[in-house]
Amino acid sequence: MTEKRDLLVEIGTEELPPKALRRLSNAFADGMSKGLDAAALKPSKVYTYASPRRLALLIKGLPLTQQDRETVRRGPALSAAFDDDGCPTPAALGFARSCAVEVEQLDQLETKKGSWLSFRAIEKGKPVTELIPDMLQKSLASLPIPKRMRWGDRDYEFVRPVHWVVLLFGDEVIDADIFGIKAGRYTQGHRFHHPQPIYIGEPEAYLPLLETEGRVLADFATRREAIRAQVLEQAKQLNGRAVIDDELLDEVTGLVEWPVALSGRFDKQFLEVPPEALVSSMQDHQKYFPVMDENDKLLPYFIAIANLDSKDPQQILAGNERVIRPRLADAAFFWNQDCKQPLEKHIDGLRSMVYQKKLGSLFDKQERVAKLAAEIAVQVGGKRSHAETAARLCKCDLLTSMVYEFPDLQGIMGHYYASHDGEADAVATAIEEHYRPRFAGDELPDSVTGQALALADRLDSLVGIFAIGQQPSGDKDPFALRRAALGVVRICIEKELDIDLEALLHTAAEAFDSSVNAATVTEDIFGYVMDRLRAYYQESGVEVDLIDAVLATRPTRLLDFHRRIQACRVFRQLPEAESLAAANKRIGNILKKTDQIIPGKVDVDRLVDDAEKLLAEQLDNMSTAVLPLMEAGDYTPALKQLAGLRENVDAFFDQVMVMVDDDALRANRLSLLQNLSKLFLRVADLSRLQS
C-alpha cells in the first residue's frame, strides 16, 4: 500500500485585508489544488484556514512521490518517415536524435488520421517534496491581489509583508525559500495572547495547537460561526435581536483571531435620527452589530467584537462607546441640517451634476423620466401627479449631507426627507423603491408609483446609453444596463404589469433631444431586453426551445410573454403535444415551399375529403371558442382546447394530399393549414418545440 502523508502550508503575514480574506483563502486552495492535479497528485481532502495573520492549507493524504507516467511523443507520419526503399528519411532520423534513440527503437502510432512514428518513454515520478515549493510559488503568484506591496529592501511582492512560512510534509520540513524566508515548522500564535513561536510536530496538530496554545481560531468558518453565536447571545441578554449582515460578518471574521463579543450602549436621543443612518454608521464605520426590539425598532445598544479576551473588558467597552458617540452625533447633525430645507430645493442643484456628457445633467434625465413615469403610472393604476413629483425628487437626496456621507442610503433618505416635507406617501415611498431591484434577487418595488418610476428610470437609461453607442460589450457594462434590463423584466412579470414594452421604448425615445437620435435604437433595445428575458427564464429552468417558441411570435408585453410561457409548459405535458408540434412543423415546411397565393378564408364548397371537412368544421368551432380566451391572455385553457384538434389533424395528414395538381383545391387546403397554423401562432410557434 502506498505510503501517504499530510501536508501543512502556512504563510504568516501582517494583517491581511479583511474584506478580501475569504477570497484569498479560497483562491490559495484552488491554486494549490490545480497544481496537485497537474502533477497527478490526488489528496484525500484539502482544508483551508485563514485568519488576519495567516493563509494556511492542510492537504490530507498525499503520496510521497508521483506515480511513474508513460509519455508518448508523436513524430513524422510514416509516409514522410521512410522513402520508397524503406530507408529512414531525414525527418525520421531527426526525430530519433531528439529522443536520444535509434530509428529502430521508435514505435508506430495508429490513429484515425493516419500512422505516425512515436517514442514511448517512462517518466519517473518525482518526490512530492521537490514539487511542492514551485507549486506553492505559482499559487501565491496567481492570487487575486489588485495591488501588491514590497517591504524592507527586498524585491518580493505580496498582499502584505510575510514574516514566517510553515511547510511540513508529515514530520518533515520541506526545504524551500518563500519570499526570502526559509520554510520551517514554527507558527505564531495570537499577537497579544501568545506572541511566542509555536512548534508544530505534524500537520494534524496545527489547528488544535493554535486554538489551545496560540489562542487563534484559524478556521474561517468556525470563527465566523463563533462570532455569530456570541452576537446572538449578547443580543438575547439585551432582550433584543441582532442585525447580522453577512458581508459585515465576513469582514469582522477577517479582523479578529480570537473573537470576544461585548455589548455597549449609546444615548437614546440619537434614536430620533432615521435608524438606517445609525445602522449604517455602526456597520460601515465601526463594524458593530446593531440591536432591534421585537417590533424591529432600533435599540440604543450595539455589539462589538474584540480581538482578545481582556482582563478588564469594561475598558474596551468604554473605549468603543466613546468612539461611537461622535459618529452618531455626525449622523444627527447631517439629519438636522438636511431637514432645514425641502428636497425640492435641491432640484436646481441636479443641473450641475452630469449624468452623461452627451445626455446632459441629472436634471435633464429626471425631466425625461418624469414624463415617462407619468405615462406608465396611468397604465398601471397610479396617479400621474405622484409619478411626476417622485421622478423630479428621486435623485435630490444625492445632494444631501447624509447621502454624501453614507452613499448606500440614497433613496432611503429621500423617503425620509420627502415624508418630513409633507409629500404624499406614494411619492416618498416611490423615491426609495425606484432603486429596486439593486441586484439579482433583490426585492421589487411594491407600490404602483414606485414600479412606474423604477421602470421609467431604467428605460431612460437604456435608450439614452444605446443612442450614444455605449451599450454593453463583452464583460464591459459601465452603466449597468444588463441589471437595468433584467430589472424591467422582473418588475413587469413578477408585479404583473400588463404594459407594452415596445410602445414604452418609443415614448422614452421621444423625450430625447433630436441630436441624440434615440428613435433609431428602440428595436435594438427591445432585442436586448428579450435576451435578458431569455436568460431570466433559463435560470428559472424553462427549456430553451420553449422560450424560442414564444420569442418567435414576438409578444411586446412581457406579462403576456410570461403567460404564453406558462401555457406552453402546461401544453407540453399533454399527450397531444408531441403530435401537434410535429404537425405545426410539417405545416410550416409546406407553407415555406409554396409560392402560391393563399386565400385568407377557406372555401367550404371546395372541401372534398371527409377528413378536411371535419378539420375545417372543428377549426371553425375551435376558433370561436379560443379566440376570446387568447384575447384575454388566458392561453393555458386555450391551448388545452386546441389539443383537441389532434385527432382530426392526424387524420387530415393521413388521408388528404395537400399539394395536388388542381390549383384551386391546393390553394384551399393550404388556406386551411395556414389558418390552423395562425391559430396556434397566437400563442407560440409550436413547430420549434423539440420532441
**DSSP for 81-110, written as a single string:** HB-TTSPBPHHHHHHHHHTTS-GGG-EEEE
Q: Which domains does the chain have, with CATH numbers?
A: 4-66+127-212 (3.30.70.260), 69-123 (no CATH), 223-338 (no CATH), 358-541 (1.10.3210), 576-688 (1.10.730.10)
User: Confidence band (pLDDT; 50, 70, 90) for 154?
Assistant: confident
Strands 4-13 and 162-169: antiparallel
pLDDT band at residue 1 using 50, 70 and 90 as cut-offs: low
Residue 184 has pLDDT above 90, yes or no: yes
Pick 671 or 297 by higher pLDDT.
297
Q: What whole-number distance in Å separates Cα of residue 27 and Cα of residue 215?
A: 26
Q: What is the mean pLDDT of residues 600-622?
A: 87
pLDDT band (50, 70, 90) for residue 150: very high
Does 554 score more than 70 pLDDT? yes
Comparison of pLDDT for 466 and 583, the residue scoring more: 466
Beta-ladder partners of 82: 88
432645514: which residue's cell?
A: 340
> Mean pLDDT over residues 633-639, rounded?
93
pLDDT > 90? residue 46: yes
**Confidence (pLDDT) at 110:** 82
- Alpha carbon distance 253, 398 (integer Å): 32
% pLDDT > 90, the chain:
73
pLDDT at 664: 86
* Alpha carbons 411 and 417: distance in angstroms, whole number: 10
Residues counted in the chain: 691
Q: What pLDDT score does 244 carry? A: 97
**Model confidence, pTM:** 0.81
Is pLDDT above 70 for 190?
yes
Over 60: is that where the pLDDT of 20 sits? yes
Mean pLDDT rounded to a whole number for the chain: 93
User: Cα(126)–Cα(512) distance, rounded to whole angstroms?
Assistant: 69
What one-letter code names the amino acid at 237?
Q
What is the C-alpha to C-alpha distance for residues 253 and 250, in angstroms, rounded to an integer? 5
* CA 70 to each of CA 2, 98, 343, 442, 679: distance values in angstroms, whole numbers, following the listed order: 19, 17, 76, 53, 65
H/E segment holding residue 242: strand 241-242
Q: What is the mean pLDDT of residues 659-688?
A: 88
Query: CB neighbours (10 Å) of residue 4?
Result: 14
Give the pLDDT confidence of 236-274 residue by residue, as tens digits: 999 999 999 999 999 999 999 999 999 999 999 999 999
Each residue of 66-103: pLDDT tens digit?
Answer: 887 777 888 888 888 888 788 889 888 898 898 888 88
pLDDT in tens, 326-376: 999 999 999 999 999 999 999 999 999 999 999 999 999 999 999 999 999
Give pLDDT, residue 92.
86
Binning pLDDT at 50, 70 and 90, where does residue 593 land?
Answer: confident
234-238: Cβ within 8 A, 24+ apart? 234/261, 234/262, 234/263, 234/303, 235/263, 235/289, 235/291, 235/303, 237/263, 238/263, 238/291, 238/299, 238/301
List of residues 6+ apart from 645 with CB closer than 8 A: 580, 615, 618, 619, 622, 676
pLDDT tens digits for range 113-135: 888 888 887 778 889 999 999 99
Identify the band that residue 402 occupies on the pLDDT scale cut at 50, 70 and 90: very high
Residue 320: what pLDDT? Answer: 94
- Of 218, 230, 285, 284, the closest CA to residue 254 belongs to 218
